[in-house]
């Protein structure tokens, strides 16, 4: 695939090569030197050649014998930073170019042939030169000593938890949006972090006293932070509690992010001991927080749907209804179960389920998908609402265990089949969801695929695809660990086709890793959240069994 920003620069400096058909175009000018053909390790070369060896051999065939000194001066790899050797054959018209030393794995290099290149008869290279991008593949060697699967899963949970415990914003205790966010904290990601802290206490990664102290800090912050009809914003300042706009018009309530937080708060509440003085105090404070969320107000009157945003100075300007099927099922479950601001079942049926039009029923890679878009969409649909809500249930529209399992299997099987021919996709290297990618941030899926794999997608699907997810964990850790394993677990994503790995970690991607691994192992968070009487009441109202 051609990176747009890369193409713009390429078109400015070369006439011989274009992205069309992803192949080298050869000039037919007779008065100047022309490039007749090119290959890399015996394979036809394009503008961007992925998966190259670390000792690639690039062969360029010209129409004229090339002056040796000119070749040394005007053919370079990464602007001359990387030393190359040039061998001349076929009466000096064929040049075989190799790096003097092995290149780095999973790294992008540019080989440039400048237009000043001259032949032995002083003819010059026609056009504006040639630029070829060479992207090396992965190092297949294991990066860490082998440990048992149990030890590896423990390590992944414990290391990832550090994002929410060690790296939390110090004043609020909330989760930073990402590892470069400073005092900007995220509501939904912090809700995931609360559930991860429960796992940490339960597994002994942190002491119960320290965990409870962190709950106190976060709840104290939430009590003073900006709220709008009971709902928190997407982002806020961890030091002051003031809203930080997520976008120009998104400077107030975010009901979806708030619901992710409430899911975490209820899980913590169910984990606490009511006979303990501190625990009882926190239980009451959590009840006050979540019961203040005016879910019914987000109907914009009496509409049969809930709305995502509200701004204190712009009102309902974003006007985004929350309709299925995506990650927001939890919003309707909590709204239906709210003891203070509930909604009737008709809002779920007409607003979320759209009177049944959320159904799919098609088969992809041999798996029937009950709900949602074709191929299921990004995998976070199977994670965010189901960190606490046990998917071993069904309603009038789907069996949610079947929905989530088949969605994950479709995602895995798509990556294994790899119809886009991306480098690295395999049975043990899979997982498409929303994440950072080489061009920014986007939601990757089988119908919107740019070659970016996100570890949280496969790892957080472990309850649904235990074998495939464990294989992915091993690949990410042992094979990609030198690039992808960091202080807070796995970095966000990677794209082997582009020779790119993220250096970022995001709260909304790290949290589900800790939580969903635990749900696979013990169903801890599912048992806690679903045991809440409000959740049981919501299930009954909405027709879940």
404-424 pLDDT per residue, tens: 999 999 999 999 999 999 999
The last residue of one of the domains, among 136, 162, 189, is 136
Instruction: Report yes or no on 405 lying in a domain.
Output: yes
How far apart, in whole angstroms, are the C-alpha atoms of residue 493 and residue 500? 9
- Taking the complete model, does pTM exceed 0.85, yes or no? yes
pLDDT confidence bin for 47, thresholds 50/70/90: confident
User: What is the reported pLDDT for 13?
Assistant: 34
How far apart, in whole angstroms, are the C-alpha atoms of residue 241 and residue 232? 10
User: What is the reported pLDDT for 125?
Assistant: 82
Instruction: Report yes or no on 495 lying in a domain.
Output: yes
How far apart, in whole angstroms, are the C-alpha atoms of residue 71 and residue 80? 12
Helix then strand count (H, E) for the chain reads 16, 22
- Which CATH number is 445's domain given? 1.50.10.140
Give the structural domain span for 428: 360-516+523-530
The last residue of one of the domains, among 118, 136, 154, is 136
Instruction: Report yes or no on 275 lying in a domain.
Output: no
Tell me the Ramachandran region of residue 377: left when phi exceeds 0, alpha when psi lies from -120 to 50, beta otherwise: left
Instruction: Report yes or no on 370 lying in a domain.
Output: yes
DSSP-based three-state secondary structure for 363: strand
User: What is the reported pLDDT for 267?
Assistant: 98
Residue 276 phi/psi, 5-degree rounding, is -85, 135
Mean pLDDT to the nearest integer, 340-351: 98
**CB neighbour list of residue 314: distance below 8 Å, 6 or more residues apart:** 249, 251, 252
Instruction: Report yes or no on 81 lying in a domain.
Output: yes
The last residue of one of the domains, among 136, 151, 169, is 136
Residue-wise pLDDT tens digits, 208-264: 999 999 999 999 999 999 999 999 999 999 999 999 999 999 999 999 999 999 999
| Exposed e or buried b per residue across 81-96, where buried means at least 16 C-beta atoms within 10 angstroms of its C-beta | ebebeeeeeeebbbbe
Could you give the residue ranges of the DSSP H alpha helices within 166-207? 187-203
Could you give the residue ranges of the DSSP H alpha helices within 294-399? 329-337, 345-347
19 pLDDT above the threshold of 70: no
How far apart, in whole angstroms, are the C-alpha atoms of residue 85 and residue 53? 16
- Which CATH number is 70's domain given? 2.60.40.1220
Instruction: Report yes or no on 387 lying in a domain.
Output: yes
Inter-residue long-range contacts of 487-491, CB under 8 Å, 24+ positions, other chains counted: 487/159, 487/162, 488/159, 488/160, 488/162, 488/163, 488/166, 488/167, 488/179, 489/156, 489/159, 489/160, 489/162, 489/163, 489/513, 490/156, 490/160, 490/455, 490/456, 490/459, 491/455
Instruction: Report yes or no on 441 lying in a domain.
Output: yes
What is the total count of domains within the chain?
2
The encoded tokens of residue 158 equal 């414990």
Instruction: Report yes or no on 300 lying in a domain.
Output: no
pLDDT confidence bin for 445, thresholds 50/70/90: very high
């Amino acid at each position: 695939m051609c990176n747009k920003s890369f193409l713009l620069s390429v078109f400015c400096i070369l006439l011989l090569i274009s992205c069309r058909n992803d192949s080298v175009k050869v000039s037919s000018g007779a008065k100047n030197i022309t490039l007749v053909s090119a290959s890399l390790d015996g394979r036809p070369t394009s503008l961007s050649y992925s998966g190259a060896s670390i000792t690639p051999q690039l062969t360029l065939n010209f129409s004229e014998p090339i002056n040796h000194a000119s070749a040394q001066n005007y053919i370079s790899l990464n602007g001359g930073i990387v030393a190359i050797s040039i061998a001349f054959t076929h009466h000096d018209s064929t040049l075989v170019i190799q790096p003097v030393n092995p290149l780095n794995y999973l790294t992008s290099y540019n080989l440039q042939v400048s237009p000043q290149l001259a032949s032995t008869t002083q003819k010059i290279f026609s056009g504006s030169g040639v630029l070829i991008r060479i992207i090396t593949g992965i190092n297949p060697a294991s990066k860490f000593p082998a440990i048992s699967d149990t030890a590896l899963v423990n390590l992944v949970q414990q290391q990832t938890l550090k994002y929410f415990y060690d790296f939390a914003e110090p004043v609020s205790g909330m989760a930073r949006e990402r590892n470069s966010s400073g005092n900007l904290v995220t509501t939904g990601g912090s809700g995931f972090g609360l559930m991860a802290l429960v796992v940490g206490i339960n597994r002994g990664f942190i002491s119960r006293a320290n965990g409870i102290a962190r709950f106190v800090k976060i709840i104290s912050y939430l009590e003073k932070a900006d709220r709008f009809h009971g709902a928190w914003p997407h982002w806020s300042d961890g030091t002051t509690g003031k809203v930080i706009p997520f976008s120009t018009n998104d400077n107030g309530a975010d009901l979806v992010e708030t619901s992710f937080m409430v899911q975490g708060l209820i899980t913590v509440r169910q984990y606490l001991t009511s006979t303990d003085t501190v625990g009882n105090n926190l239980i009451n404070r959590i009840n006050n927080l979540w019961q203040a969320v005016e879910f019914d107000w987000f109907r914009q009157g009496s509409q049969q749907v809930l709305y995502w945003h509200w701004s204190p100075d712009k009102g309902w300007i974003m006007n985004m209804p929350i309709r299925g099927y995506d990650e927001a099922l939890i919003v309707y479950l909590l709204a239906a179960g709210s003891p203070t601001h509930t909604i009737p079942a008709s809002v779920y049926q007409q607003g979320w389920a759209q009177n049944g039009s959320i159904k799919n029923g098609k088969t992809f890679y041999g798996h029937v998908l009950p709900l949602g878009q074709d191929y299921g969409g990004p995998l976070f649909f199977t994670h965010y609402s189901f960190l606490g809500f046990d998917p071993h249930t069904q309603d009038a529209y789907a069996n949610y265990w079947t929905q989530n399992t088949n969605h994950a299997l479709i995602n895995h099987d798509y990556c294994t089949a790899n119809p886009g021919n991306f480098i690295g996709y395999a049975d043990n290297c899979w997982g498409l969801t929303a994440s950072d990618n080489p061009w920014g941030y986007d939601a990757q899926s089988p119908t919107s695929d740019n070659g970016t794999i996100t570890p949280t997608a496969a790892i957080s699907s472990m309850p649904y695809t235990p074998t495939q997810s464990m294989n992915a964990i091993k690949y990410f850790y042992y094979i990609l660990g030198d690039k992808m394993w960091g202080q807070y677990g796995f970095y966000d994503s990677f794209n082997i086709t582009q020779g790119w790995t993220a250096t970022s970690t995001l709260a909304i991607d790290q949290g589900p890793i800790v939580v969903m691994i635990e749900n696979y192992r013990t169903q801890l968070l599912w048992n806690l959240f679903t045991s809440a009487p409000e959740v049981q009441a919501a299930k009954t109202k909405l027709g879940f069994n």
